[in-house]
Amino acid sequence: MPFVHRLRVRFHECDPQGVVFYAQYFAYFDVALTEMWREAFGSYGEVVAAGTDVVVVEAAATFRASARFDDDLDVELRIDRLGTTSMAMATAIRRDGDVLVEGRIVHVFIDTATMAKQAIPDHMRASLQTYA
Amino acid sequence: MPFVHRLRVRFHECDPQGVVFYAQYFAYFDVALTEMWREAFGSYGEVVAAGTDVVVVEAAATFRASARFDDDLDVELRIDRLGTTSMAMATAIRRDGDVLVEGRIVHVFIDTATMAKQAIPDHMRASLQTYA
Amino acid sequence: MPFVHRLRVRFHECDPQGVVFYAQYFAYFDVALTEMWREAFGSYGEVVAAGTDVVVVEAAATFRASARFDDDLDVELRIDRLGTTSMAMATAIRRDGDVLVEGRIVHVFIDTATMAKQAIPDHMRASLQTYA
Amino acid sequence: MPFVHRLRVRFHECDPQGVVFYAQYFAYFDVALTEMWREAFGSYGEVVAAGTDVVVVEAAATFRASARFDDDLDVELRIDRLGTTSMAMATAIRRDGDVLVEGRIVHVFIDTATMAKQAIPDHMRASLQTYA
- Give the span between the Cα atoms of D16 and A15, in whole angstroms: 5
Classify the complex by whether its ipTM is higher than 0.90, answering yes or no: yes
CA distance C104 to chain B (A): 23
Kindly determine whether residue C63 and residue D53, on different chains, have CB atoms separated by under 8 Å.
no
Phi, psi of A96 (to 5 degrees): 50, 35
Q: Residues 22-41, chain A: which have Cβ within 8 Å of D?
A: 23-24
Q: Look up the pTM and report it.
A: 0.98
pLDDT computed for residue B121 by the predictor: 97
Q: Do A70 and C30 touch (CB under 8 A)?
A: no
The stretches in chain C having pLDDT less than 70 are: none
> Which residues in chain C are contacts of B69 at CB distance < 8 A?
16
**pLDDT mean over A89-93:** 98
Q: Which residues contact D78 (CB under 8 A, 6 or more apart)?
A: D2, D3, D89, D90, D91, D92, D131, D132
Task: Report CA dihedral (D88, D94, D98, D102) to the nearest 10 degrees.
Answer: -30
Check residue D114 and give its pLDDT.
Answer: 95
Q: Of the candidates A11, A30, A45, which has its C-beta nearest C70's C-beta?
A: A45
Residue (of B32, B17, B83, B26) closest to B56 by Cα position: B26
Whether residues B21 and C11 touch (CB distance < 8 A) is answered with yes
CB atoms within 10 A of CB C13: 24
Condensed to tens digits (0 to 9), the pLDDT of residues B25-65 reads 999 999 999 999 999 999 999 999 999 999 999 999 999 99
Q: Is the Cβ–Cβ distance between D94 and D6 less than 8 Å? A: no
Catalogue the E-assigned strands of chain B.
3-8, 52-63, 72-82, 86-95, 98-111
User: How many Cβ atoms from other residues are within 10 Å of residue A41's Cβ?
Assistant: 18
User: CB within 8 A of D105, min separation 6: which ones?
Assistant: D26, D29, D56, D58, D59, D60, D88, D89, D91
Neighbouring CB atoms inside 10 A of C95's CB total 17
- Out of A11, A18, A23, closest to residue D12 by CB: A23
Q: What is the pLDDT of residues D9-61, one digit of tens each?
A: 999 999 999 999 999 999 999 999 999 999 999 999 999 999 999 999 999 99
CB A95 within 8 Å of CB B57 = no
Is there a contact between B17 and A55 if contact means CB atoms under 8 Å apart?
Answer: yes
- Cα(A122)–Cα(A25) distance, integer angstroms: 30
Give the minimum alpha-carbon distance from A119 to chain C in angstroms, rounded to a whole number.
24
